[in-house]
Amino acid sequence: MGFVPLIEVTRGDLAECQHWGAVAVADRNGRVLAQVGDPYTVTFTRSTIKAFQALPFMQSGGAHALGWGSGELALLCASHNGEPMHVQEVERMLGSVGQSYHALRCGCHRPLFAELGLGSLPDGFVPDERHNNCSGKHAGFVAHCVQQGWPLDNHLDPAHPLQVAIRERVAQAVGLGPDELAMGIDGCSAPNYAMPLAHLARGYARLAGGAPDTDLDQSLTALADAMVQRPELGSGTGRHDLDFMRVGRGEWVSKTGADGVQVVGSRSRGEAFALKVMDGNMVAQVAAAVEVMDQLGWLDAAQREALAPRRNAVIRNAKGLVVGGRRPVFRLQRATV
């Protein structure tokens, strides 16, 4: 089956664009509960695995030893906007192990809040590594290396002890072997892994609902608690992950990844879904995610209304005229018992 149409964009009465993708819904045991297209479609996970990349640090007791709370743990999992609250938190994280942003190896880019048109930058602003949307994850990398006595200069090399440990823990979290993860290099220069959507969903079911069958349970729960308690640090002003977790009232653990990847876990159900929009369109990705939540029965009336602008939208031209719309065109196929 592969990819199928998820979101259709219309102009007048005709379909003008279609965004194709696939969806997998899974529980903590890895059972596929529902799907659209092929639930075992292999895709790079991008930023959706940040919580899993923090597991070696968490499992070692590193965060506890530093007295890190929900703010720091949320930043470990963040794709943040580079707002002052994010930059200041990253500075504190690095300072707690005697390092500065010069230890980061993630590169720098303009803060996302400016790139997304959510704010402006002062004249003469020069971004540095702290403003990278992945700098919280990388601050965790630096902290773990300092605690373990590992070299910092090459800590993103796939053969570095940090990255070897991360690969093992990512695989454990999603129910695969380390050699089953295809590797690529992410936008922040860290190794990233591709896996079937169903396994990514399983990992988020464990993150959201607990993993009592593994030694990761306490670490995953602490990270999920932080993501839900401090969603403004995990993404930022105007971002859909912030919307999802606030509208979810503590029930949903939501994480976006670049190029059309989205995962949302339900804490009370111990279930999650992972989706990939093949063309990487984020508007379609978010619209599809809301539709999946509704079809799964996760939304009450108030939540459905709050998220309606993210799902069904009219399209206006420069003059403000309604010229088209956006609509979901898929139905989840439920697994038969």
Predicted confidence at residue 119, as pLDDT, reads: 82
Predicted confidence at residue 67, as pLDDT, reads: 98
The closest alpha carbon to 189, from 225, 120, 141, 253, belongs to: 141
In whole angstroms, what is the distance from residue 226 CA to residue 234 CA? 9
pLDDT tens profile 112-164: 888 888 888 888 899 999 999 999 999 999 999 999 999 999 999 999 999 99
Predicted confidence at residue 307, as pLDDT, reads: 97
The mean pLDDT of 275-290, rounded to a whole number, is 97
DSSP assigned state of 273: E
Predicted confidence at residue 117, as pLDDT, reads: 82
Predicted confidence at residue 1, as pLDDT, reads: 58
Residue 190's DSSP bridge partners are none
In whole angstroms, what is the distance from residue 59 CA to residue 162 CA? 13
| Chain length of the chain | 337
User: What is the three-state SS of 106-158?
Assistant: CCCCCCHHHHCCCCCCCCCCCCCHHHCCCHHHHHHHHHHHHHHCCCCCCCCCC
Predicted confidence at residue 219, as pLDDT, reads: 98
Other Cβ atoms within 10 Å of 122 Cβ, number: 5
Q: Which of 1-5, 115-119, 144-148, 287-291 has the lowest mean pLDDT?
A: 115-119
Predicted confidence at residue 34, as pLDDT, reads: 98
pLDDT tens profile 21-74: 999 999 999 999 999 999 999 999 999 999 999 999 999 999 999 999 999 999
The closest alpha carbon to 101, from 78, 134, 60, 52, belongs to: 134
pLDDT, mean over the chain: 96
pLDDT confidence of 288, banded at 50, 70, 90? Answer: very high
In whole angstroms, what is the distance from residue 260 CA to residue 165 CA? 27
Residue pair 112/78 in contact by the 8 Å Cβ criterion? no
Q: Helix 240-247 crosses helix 301-311 at what angle (to 10 degrees)?
A: 170
Residue pair 101/224 in contact by the 8 Å Cβ criterion? no
Helix (H, G, I), strand (E, B) or coil at 300: coil
pLDDT tens profile 302-334: 999 999 999 888 899 999 999 999 999 999 999
pLDDT tens profile 207-262: 999 999 999 999 999 999 999 999 999 999 999 999 999 999 999 999 999 999 99
Predicted confidence at residue 312, as pLDDT, reads: 80
* Strands 32-36, 322-328: pairing kind: unpaired
* Strands 32-36, 333-334: pairing kind: antiparallel
The closest alpha carbon to 195, from 216, 177, 213, 212, belongs to: 177
Helix (H, G, I), strand (E, B) or coil at 190: coil
Query: Does residue 337 carry a pLDDT above 70?
Result: no
